Amino acid sequence: MTAKNIERSAVKLPPIKRLRLIEILIASLDKPDAAIERTWAAESDKRLTAYKKGSLKAVSLDSVKRRFIK
């Protein structure tokens, strides 16, 4: 079956089945990268340690909103 044939078949599906197909396709593209996951884990550990030592201060959600939502 070619991609074009799949497309033709997919657009004929009922909306709920097309939505499910979209979800499956998007999920298939959203695979975690192990190297990136390790990097973020190390960074979060570093930030948590700094916070616990008092060398990194927490910022309130309201403060973040004021800064970035205008």
* Predicted confidence (pLDDT) per residue in 9-39, tens digit: 999 999 999 999 999 999 988 888 899 999 9
Residues whose CB falls within 8 Å of the CB of residue 11, separated by 6 or more in sequence, listed in order: 18
6 has pLDDT over 90: yes
Q: What is the pLDDT of residue 1?
A: 82
Question: Do residues 70 and 39 both lie within one domain?
Answer: yes
Mean pLDDT confidence for 44-68: 94
Question: Do residues 66 and 38 both lie within one domain?
Answer: yes
Question: Do residues 27 and 38 both lie within one domain?
Answer: no
Question: Do residues 40 and 70 both lie within one domain?
Answer: yes
Question: Do residues 5 and 26 both lie within one domain?
Answer: yes
- Could you tell me the residue range of the domain that residue 1 belongs to? 1-31
CB atoms within 10 A of CB 33: 9
Count of domains in the chain?
2
Question: Do residues 48 and 65 both lie within one domain?
Answer: yes
